């Protein structure tokens, strides 16, 4: 069994911005577990534990889906508190709504399944907040540089859980098609 998810990998310059933001968050009155730089991504669907046979099926379905989806741009937004500011479990960077991204995620959910949530880039998992009001006010005050980047590939990823944190690796890379 292999723990899998479908993702968009982010460019190094976006990772630089996210790490910079994580450093700001580290100064807030909270305890959290940051996503490692190499693991920063946008999840489209968490598939859980899959047998090898099922992975082959997912590969074929993803290949077919990606042949129908054009390359597109992603624009990052502000910090998002998940599920909400009254009960913060995750801090993430939100992603601007995008018709192509929504169609891609919808097709993945319909044809492959898995757990989906609105696209976002997870920064950390929150363990404890010592001063909720201060954390919320400071997070709302952060002005995030809008990052725009091209999405040309979708990835089927493997996640191996270790004591030090998950280790991600690419199982398969899928090309999105050109509009021309």
| Spacing of C-alpha 74 from chain mean position | 12
Task: State pTM to two decimals.
Answer: 0.91
DSSP line for 75-127: EEEEEEEEEETTEEEEEEEEE---HHHHHHHHHHHHHT--B--S-EEEEEEEE
Cis preceding linkage at 148, omega within 30: no
Q: Is 41 a catalytic residue?
A: yes
Which of 86, 96, 120, 177 is an active site residue?
120
Residue 178 pLDDT more than 80?
A: no
Interval 10-58: pLDDT, tens: 999 999 999 999 999 999 999 999 999 999 999 999 999 999 999 999 9
Mean pLDDT of 80-103: 93
Portion of the chain with pLDDT greater than 90, in percent = 86
Show me where the domains of the chain are located. 2-175
Mean pLDDT across the chain, nearest whole number? 93
Measured CA distances, 3 to 97, 115, 147 (Å): 28, 13, 29
Q: How many residues does the chain have?
A: 180
Residue 151 pLDDT more than 60?
A: yes
What is the enclosing helix (H) or strand (E) of 72? strand 72-84
Residue 156 pLDDT more than 70?
A: yes
Res 163: pLDDT: 87
Res 105: pLDDT: 95
Mean pLDDT of 125-144: 90
CATH classification for the domain delimited by 2-175, as one of 3.90.1140.10, 3.90.420.10, 3.40.50.20, 3.40.640.10: 3.90.1140.10
- pLDDT-derived band at 142, boundaries 50, 70, 90: confident
Which of 41, 86, 96, 177 is an active site residue?
41
- pLDDT-derived band at 180, boundaries 50, 70, 90: low
């Amino acid at each position: 069994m292999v723990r899998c998810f479908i993702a968009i990998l982010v460019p190094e310059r976006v990772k630089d911005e996210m790490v910079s933001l994580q450093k700001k968050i580290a100064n807030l009155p909270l305890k959290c577990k940051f996503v490692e730089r190499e693991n920063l991504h946008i999840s489209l669907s968490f598939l859980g534990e899959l047998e090898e046979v099922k992975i082959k099926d997912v590969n074929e379905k993803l290949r077919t889906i990606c042949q129908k989806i054009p390359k597109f741009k992603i624009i990052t937004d502000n910090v998002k508190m998940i599920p909400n500011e009254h009960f913060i479990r995750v801090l993430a960077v939100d992603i601007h709504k995008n018709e192509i991204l929504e169609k891609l995620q919808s097709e993945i959910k319909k044809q492959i399944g898995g757990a989906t949530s609105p696209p976002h880039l997870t920064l950390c998992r929150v363990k404890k907040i010592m001063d909720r009001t201060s954390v919320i006010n400071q997070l709302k005050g952060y002005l995030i540089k809008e990052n725009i980047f091209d999405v040309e590939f979708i990835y089927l990823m493997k996640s191996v859980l270790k004591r030090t944190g998950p280790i991600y690796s690419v199982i398969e890379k899928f090309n999105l098609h050109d509009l021309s």
